[in-house]
């Protein structure tokens, strides 16, 4: 198995062959995960530390299950407030953990670039589990795997990403990945939720959702944070739902076999109608969660066992 990356910090600097390596291996792990004995020893004897500086249930448990199914010793560190209260800096925390010789560090942090900074200070492979508004590479990879398994390909698909693009690391990673895989990307959102210069990212921009969803193969909805609903970025929840919430009428613009995705957790009745989210004919939201475990297993397997090592003698 070929893999040229040293860490998984983002999609931006990940090569297409590496993306394919992860997705191909993840397909195998999907099969494993569907057996009753879900056990591999790919990470036997390895230590995986999950450092989450931001609350997370879904991503943290996904990484934990992924590690455990491959036989890794998994340690979860919820660092939300404790270490910051003690005044320890991110770099000190990283160097302390580095001294314990882990093989994989999975890091989520509220600040953009924090995981890159940490990766410069440790010897082991680092996986970005989401940093600020920057990147969330495993989410984009699991989305890609979900699309590829449903549509049979990633190239030449019309994908609409809808909602709060401005504050979304999921959107950024997905834009990088889908562009690399030669999909056609549309962004659908009010201008207050579109970041400056996003038109230079190889995307088409739509403010009208009916137009934006016309003939798309994939509808990817994004979560709108509660604190952004009341007057700051949009006038109200109900107006947002009316214009940009996904319901059956708007979805009717998409191709008849279009799939509906959401990274979760969902706000039913805000960005997505509950019936659509639960429609097993359209929604692949549960499958995304399943693919998440497989993609994380694949990424950790590749980084732990096939990682490109730094030239000897070079230590950061």
Partner 1 sequence: MNILFSNARLIDPEARTDTIGALLVADGAIKQVFSDREPKGKFDQVVDCEGKCLAPGILDIGVKICEPGERHKESFASAGRAAAAGGVTTMVIRPDTVPSVDTPESLEFIKRRASAASIVRVLPMASLTRGRAGREMAEIGFLQDAGAVAFTDCDHVVTDIKIFSRCLTYANSLNALVITHAQEPQLSAGASATSGALATKLGLPAVSPMAERIQLDRDAALIEMTGARVHIDQLSTKAGLDVLSQAKAKGLRITAGASIHHLTLNEIDIEGYPTFFKVKPPLRHETDRVALADAVASGLIDIISSMHTPQDEESKRVPFDSAASGAVALETLLPAALQLVHGEYMDLPTLWAALSLNPANLFGLDSGRLTVDAPADLVLFDPDKPFILDRTTLKSKSKNTPFDGRRMQGQVMQTYVGGELVFER
What are the residues binding partner 1 (CB under 8 A)?
A: 12, 89-91, 109, 111-114, 116-117, 131-135, 169, 172, 195-198, 200-201
Angle at 240 between CA 218 and CA 248, to 5 degrees: 45
Q: Under a CB-based contact definition with an 8 Å cutoff, are residues 4 and 308 in contact?
A: yes
Q: Under a CB-based contact definition with an 8 Å cutoff, are residues 169 and 132 in contact?
A: yes
Question: Catalytic: which of 59, 93, 138, 146?
Answer: 59
Other C-beta atoms closer than 10 Å to the C-beta of 192 total 12
Is 108 one of the catalytic residues? yes
Task: Pick the closer one to partner 1 by CB: 37 or 196.
Answer: 196
Task: Pick the closer one to partner 1 by CB: 102 or 130.
Answer: 130
Is 136 one of the catalytic residues? yes
Q: What's the closest the beta carbon of residue 201 comes to partner 1, in angstroms?
A: 7
Task: Pick the closer one to partner 1 by CB: 37 or 200.
Answer: 200
Task: Pick the closer one to partner 1 by CB: 228 or 306.
Answer: 228
Task: Pick the closer one to partner 1 by CB: 46 or 223.
Answer: 223
Question: Catalytic: which of 7, 46, 69, 108?
Answer: 108
Q: What's the closest the beta carbon of residue 133 comes to partner 1, in angstroms?
A: 3
Q: Under a CB-based contact definition with an 8 Å cutoff, are residues 287 and 147 in contact?
A: no
Is 59 one of the catalytic residues? yes
Tell me how far apart the alpha carbons of residues 174 and 25 are, in angstroms, rounded to a whole number: 20
Task: Pick the closer one to partner 1 by CB: 18 or 135.
Answer: 135
Distances in Å between the Cα of 217 and the Cα atoms of 144, 172, 211 are 13, 19, 14
Q: What's the closest the beta carbon of residue 89 comes to partner 1, in angstroms?
A: 6
Is 146 one of the catalytic residues? no
Q: What's the closest the beta carbon of residue 136 comes to partner 1, in angstroms?
A: 10
Q: What's the closest the beta carbon of residue 179 comes to partner 1, in angstroms?
A: 12
Give the H or E element holding residue 210.
helix 209-212
Question: Catalytic: which of 85, 86, 191, 309?
Answer: 86
- The full length of the chain comes to 316
Question: Catalytic: which of 13, 34, 39, 58?
Answer: 58
* Beta-bridge partner residues of 50: 76, 106
Q: What's the closest the beta carbon of residue 248 comes to partner 1, in angstroms?
A: 33
Question: Catalytic: which of 136, 151, 262, 307?
Answer: 136
Tell me how far apart the alpha carbons of residues 30 and 191 are, in angstroms, rounded to a whole number: 38
Q: What is the DSSP letter of 13?
A: T
Closest CA to 291 of 176, 159, 138: 138
Residue bearing tokens 């449903």:
150
Angle at 250 between CA 246 and CA 253, to 5 degrees: 135
**Which residues are annotated as catalytic?**
58-59, 86, 108, 136
């Amino acid at each position: 198995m070929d893999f040229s990356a040293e860490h998984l910090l983002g999609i931006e600097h990940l090569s297409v062959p590496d993306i394919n390596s992860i997705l191909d291996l993840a397909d195998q792990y999907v099969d494993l995960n569907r057996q009753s004995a879900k056990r591999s020893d790919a990470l036997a004897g390895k230590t995986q530390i999950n450092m989450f500086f931001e609350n997370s249930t879904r991503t943290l448990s996904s990484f934990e299950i992924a590690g455990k199914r491959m036989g890794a010793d998994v340690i979860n560190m919820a660092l939300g407030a404790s270490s910051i209260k003690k005044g320890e800096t991110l770099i000190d925390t990283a160097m302390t953990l580095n001294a314990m010789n882990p093989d994989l560090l999975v890091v989520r942090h509220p600040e953009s670039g924090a995981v890159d900074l940490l990766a410069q200070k440790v010897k082991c492979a680092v996986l970005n589990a989401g940093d600020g508004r920057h990147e969330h590479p495993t989410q984009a990879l699991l989305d890609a795997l979900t699309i590829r398994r449903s549509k049979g390909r990633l190239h030449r698909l019309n994908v609409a990403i809808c909602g709060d693009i401005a504050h979304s690391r999921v959107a950024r990673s997905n834009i990088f990945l889908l562009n690399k895989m030669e999909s056609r990307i549309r962004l659908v959102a009010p201008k207050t939720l579109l970041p400056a210069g996003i038109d230079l990212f190889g995307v088409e921009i739509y403010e009208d959702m009916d137009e934006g969803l016309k003939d798309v193969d994939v509808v990817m909805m994004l979560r709108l944070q509660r604190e952004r609903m009341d007057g700051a970025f949009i006038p109200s929840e109900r107006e947002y739902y009316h214009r940009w919430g996904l319901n059956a009428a708007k979805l009717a613009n998409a191709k008849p076999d279009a799939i509906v995705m959401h990274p979760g957790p969902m706000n039913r009745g805000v960005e997505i109608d509950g019936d659509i989210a639960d429609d097993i004919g359209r929604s692949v939201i549960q499958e995304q969660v399943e693919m998440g475990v497989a993609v994380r297993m694949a990424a950790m397997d590749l980084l732990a066992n096939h990682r490109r090592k730094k030239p000897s003698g070079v230590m950061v």
